[in-house]
Amino acid sequence: MRVAVVGATGLVGTTMMKILEERNFPITEFLAVASEKSVGKEIVFRGQKHAIVGMQTAVNARPDIALFSAGGSTSLEWAPKFAEVGTTVIDNSSAWRADPTKKLVVPEVNAHVLNKTDKIIANPNCSTIQMVVALNPLHQKYRIKRLVISTYQSVTGTGVKAVTQMMNERNGVAGEMAYKYSIDMNLIPHIDSFLDNGYTKEEMKMVNETRKIIGDKTIKITATTVRVPVMGGHSESVNVEFLSEFELQEVRRILQNTPGVIVVDDVNNFKYPMPKDAEGRDEVFVGRLRRDESRRRCLNMWIVADNLRKGAATNAIQIAEYLIKEKIVQSVEVSAEELVA
Q: Is the pLDDT of residue 339 over 60?
A: no
pLDDT band of residue 322 (cuts 50, 70, 90) is: very high
3-class SS of residue 88:
strand
Q: How confident is the model at residue 205 (pLDDT cuts 50, 70, 90)?
A: very high
State the catalytic residues: 126, 234
CA angle 41, 46, 49 (to 5 degrees): 25
Residue 331 pLDDT class (50, 70, 90 cuts): confident
pLDDT classification of 333: cutoffs 50, 70, 90: low
Quote the pLDDT of residue 232: 84
CB burial of 21-48 (b: ≥16 within 10 Å; e: otherwise) equals eeeebebeebbbbbbeebeeeebebeee
> 128: phi > 0 → left, psi -120 to 50 → alpha, else beta; which?
alpha
CB 131 within 8 A of CB 238: yes
Percentage of residues in the chain with pLDDT exceeding 70?
97
Domains with residue ranges and CATH for the chain: 2-95+313-340 (3.40.50.720), 127-307 (3.30.360.10)
Query: Rounded to an integer, what distance in angstroms lies between the CA atom of residue 311 and that of residue 306?
Result: 6
Beta-carbon contacts of residue 1 (< 8 Å; ≥ 6 apart): 25, 26, 27, 28, 64, 65, 324, 329, 331
44 bridge partner residues: 49
What pTM does this model have? Answer: 0.94
Rounded to the nearest 10 degrees, what angle do helices 11-22 and 314-325 cross at? 50
- pLDDT at residue number 332: 62
What angle is formed at CA 29 by the lines to CA 26 and CA 32, rounded to 5 degrees? 105
Q: What is the mean pLDDT of the chain?
A: 95
Q: Which of 107, 184, 165, 156 is nearest to 275 (CA)?
A: 156
pLDDT at 335 over 50: no
